[in-house]
Structure 1
Amino acid sequence: MFKNLMARFGKGAAKVDLVLDKNQFQLGETVAGRLMIQGGEVEQEINKIDILLMVAIRHDDTEHLHTVATIPTYESFTIHPGERKEFPFQYLLPYDLLISGNHVTYFFSTNLDIAGGVDQKDRDYIEILCPNPLQQVLDALSRLGFREKHDSRKFNGRVQEFELFPTDFLQGRAEELEFIAAVQPDGVRLLLELDLYSFGHEKELKREVFISQQVLESEDELVSELKRILEEMAEYGVTGYYRDAHGHSYHHGHSSSGLSGAVGGFAAGVIGAMVVDEVVDELFEDDDEDELEDFFEDD
């Protein structure tokens, strides 16, 4: 009787442990593992097991928790003293989640609902890696000397931004490179913002580019293409003109099909679209809602 009483308060009660095969995953990959239930010192009725995929988003020094998914679990059962039960676990990650970073973390929260007793909990962190096309872009920028900043991969209420600073190419000319990304079947689309030093103040240049799958498959070609694009942006910031492959100068005017008109086309495949749809109104104030549109405004 004493053991039953103590088990009601959690001492000597059944325990739960979600054991994952690994903790790093690509978007669209299946998370697999085992759900382990270890019986305590007395027989107990398990009402249910809840497994939630949670995302913690840090915004303005405040951490917000949101349930990404509730994974279906098992019917009620009895666990006997010292008994060990094991259930298979699988969950298919969506393709449109945010990438893990200093401002975005994920974990599975497992709750063992014990009839008449204190629930037992388990927490298992996972890391969601960049999709291969996006990682290839980051690797190419790294070869050019760009390094991700601490605030990179933060979620601004509408999109996830990648922020880098130059250590070699464009060092002394540019302060920062920012971009948002949309991964598409035939390549990756980037919305770039290059912040240049200009007569004691900062000048922002914005440009939308598409990197084809063919270019992504060649690391050297990708590095050359990104270097060319950024060099053109830097030159435009000084002269107001771009140069073509033959060295001829031309003015690159803004148009409705350029940055200011790119928001709609960028919706498909944008990193973090699922979180944008579900949590933006819950987590962020109204004055953040136009931040994506501001990103596209003409200089």
Structure 2
Amino acid sequence: MILRKYMSLLGIGSAHIDLILPKETYVVGEHINGYFLIKGGMIDQQLRRIDCELMMSDQLKGIEKIIDTRMIFTSKRIQSEELYKISFTLKLPTTIPVSTEEISYCFKTKLTFDEGVESIDQDIIRII
């Protein structure tokens, strides 16, 4: 049990997060409804928060910009091997440029624990 605890502190066998979206392509101004799927690891872990950022990357200008952020504070304890869902909603701004070869979008999601390595997920979307 102690070995498993130390392994999860290093990120081996710890809980992880995945943002589940119904599709990959969205229209400017559309509401995105999905959920965060948290899968428990080898041991119980105390969650602290979930951060999810919609990022725009402009390859031509060489910049990455945060478009919108969702932050969820939680004190949920994820049991070993447990599946836990938290709903996610975001309305795309009407003023952002559409996806092109130079402009791309993704959601960067981070799950933070009281102890251990953070779990990170990235989901690419296309905006038309």
Q: TM-score, normalised by structure 1?
A: 0.41
Q: Corresponding residue for 1:30?
A: 31
Please give the secondary structure, in 1, of the residue aligned with 2:72: coil
Q: Corresponding residue for 2:58?
A: 57
Report the CA distance between 1:71 and its aligned residue: 1.4
Q: Corresponding residue for 1:207?
A: none
Please give the secondary structure, in 2, of the residue aligned with 1:22: coil
Report the CA distance between 1:88 and its aligned residue: 1.1
Alpha-carbon separation, structure 2, partners of 1:23 and 1:74:
27
Amino acid at match of 1:36: L
Please give the secondary structure, in 1, of the residue aligned with 2:59: strand
Percent identity, please: 29
Report the CA distance between 1:74 and its aligned residue: 4.0
Amino acid at match of 1:11: I
CA deviations on 1:13-71 (whole Å, 9 max, x unpaired) are 001000101111111101111110000000111110000000111125xx321111111
Contact 2:49 2:71 in 1 (8 A): no
Alpha-carbon separation, structure 1, partners of 2:123 and 2:75:
23
Alpha-carbon separation, structure 2, partners of 1:37 and 1:120:
10
CA deviations on 1:161-183 (whole Å, 9 max, x unpaired) are xxxxxxxxxxxxxxxxxxxxxxx
Determine if the alignment matches structure 1 residue 103 to structure 2 residue 102: yes
Amino acid at match of 2:78: I
Q: Corresponding residue for 2:113?
A: 114
Structure of greater Rg: 1
Q: Which of the two has greater strand per residue?
A: 2
Q: Corresponding residue for 2:88?
A: 89
Q: Corresponding residue for 2:127?
A: 128
Alpha-carbon separation, structure 2, partners of 1:39 and 1:24:
29
What are structure 1's unaligned runs of at least 5 residues? Answer: 130-299
Pairwise CA RMSD of aligned residues? 1.1
CA deviations on 1:252-295 (whole Å, 9 max, x unpaired) are xxxxxxxxxxxxxxxxxxxxxxxxxxxxxxxxxxxxxxxxxxxx
Report the CA distance between 1:126 and its aligned residue: 0.6
Report the CA distance between 1:7 and its aligned residue: 0.1
Alpha-carbon separation, structure 2, partners of 1:54 and 1:76:
27
Please give the secondary structure, in 1, of the residue aligned with 2:29: coil
Alpha-carbon separation, structure 2, partners of 1:49 and 1:76:
11
CA deviations on 1:159-215 (whole Å, 9 max, x unpaired) are xxxxxxxxxxxxxxxxxxxxxxxxxxxxxxxxxxxxxxxxxxxxxxxxxxxxxxxxx
Q: Corresponding residue for 1:67?
A: 66
The aligned runs of 1:131-280 (5 Å cut-off) are none
Q: TM-score, normalised by structure 2?
A: 0.95
Q: How many residues align?
A: 127
Report the CA distance between 1:101 and its aligned residue: 0.6
Relative contact order: is structure 1 or structure 2 higher (C-alpha 8 Å, sep ≥ 6)?
A: 2
What are structure 2's unaligned runs of at least 5 residues? Answer: none
Alpha-carbon separation, structure 2, partners of 1:128 and 1:31:
11
Contact 2:14 2:40 in 1 (8 A): yes
Q: Corresponding residue for 2:79?
A: 80
Q: Corresponding residue for 1:293?
A: none
Q: Which of the two has greater helix per residue?
A: 1
Moved over 4 A (4+): none
